[in-house]
Amino acid sequence: DSGVTQTPKHLITATGQRVTLRCSPRSGDLSVYWYQQSLDQGLQFLIQYYNGEERAKGNILERFSAQQFPDLHSELNLSSLELGDSALYFCASSVLASGGGKGTGELFFGEGSRLTVL
Amino acid sequence: GDSVTQMEGPVTLSEEAFLTINCTYTATGYPSLFWYVQYPGEGLQLLLKATKADDKGSNKGFEATYRKETTSFHLEKGSVQVSDSAVYFCALRSQGGKLIFGQGTELSVKP
């Protein structure tokens, strides 16, 4: 058990709909990262938050957004869903803020939320 | 930008065979390097890591050495077991702390 909790584990929805994925980081971790895993794209970094603020953006579509709340949990919102958005969405956390050199940079991953868009 | 390239899978081995999964990277400087493993239906788990050149990470019989001269971090195990069947991801720590992953290599070990 990594200590990172993601809900829901599975989600099936229709094209055009909107869903929210939730992540609770490990106790004490301030950084949250979202990744998308699909068969054709592999593991793609979407976005990072640190202590409530956006820290880095990756290949995140404009239809997607995220936020981190004061209690440090994070939500990833996916809207106007398309078939191609079907994927496994992972949340990861770490204590690190940035490339400041603290620790070794290990990320702890949740078990993922599997989204199926029909 | 930073990137990681892994050998393509799937890799199929017999139990007790030797395993090598190649990984090379492109990055500015000398980033920390990682191997993560994903068992069927599960999330990613850290397998081993190395933070500087010539470091050797090891865990559960797996080893990888950080080679800056060849920008590589190949994963090896002397004798694989059926329980090692999983997808293995090589990764580097990029700016801001995010990890950049390779495309993953699926390993299947047959009894």
Is 50 exceeded by the pLDDT of residue A100? no
What is the reported pLDDT for B7? 85
B49 and A55 within 8 Å at the Cβ level: the answer is no
How far, in whole angstroms, is CA A45 from its chain's centroid? 9
Q: List, for residues A16-75, the tens digit of each pLDDT value.
A: 999 999 999 999 899 999 999 998 778 999 999 999 999 999 989 999 999 999 999 999
A43 and B104 within 8 Å at the Cβ level: the answer is yes
Q: Is B97 helix (H, G, I), strand (E, B) or coil?
A: helix
B95 and A2 within 8 Å at the Cβ level: the answer is no
Q: Is B66 helix (H, G, I), strand (E, B) or coil?
A: coil
Which of A60 and B95 is assigned the larger pLDDT? A60
What is the reported pLDDT for A101? 43
Is 90 exceeded by the pLDDT of residue B80? yes
Q: Is B86 in CB contact (< 8 Å) with chain A?
A: no
pLDDT above 90: percentage of residues in chain B: 81
B95 and A31 within 8 Å at the Cβ level: the answer is no
Closest Cα in chain A, distance from residue B93 (Å): 7
Q: List, for residues B6-27, the tens digit of each pLDDT value.
A: 988 899 999 999 999 999 999 9
DSSP A44-88: EEEEEEETTEEEEE-S--TTEEEEE-TTS-EEEEE-S--GGG-EE
Confidence of residue B68 (pLDDT cuts 50, 70, 90): very high
Our separate counts of H helices and E strands in chain A read 0, 11
- Rg (alpha carbons) of chain A, rounded to whole number: 14
Chain B residues with CB under 8 Å of A35 CB are 101
Q: Is B45 in CB contact (< 8 Å) with chain A?
A: yes
B99 and A2 within 8 Å at the Cβ level: the answer is no
Is 80 exceeded by the pLDDT of residue A105? no
A105 and B32 within 8 Å at the Cβ level: the answer is yes
Chain A residues with CB under 8 Å of B42 CB are 111
Asked whether the beta carbons of B40 and B26 are under 8 A apart, the reply is no
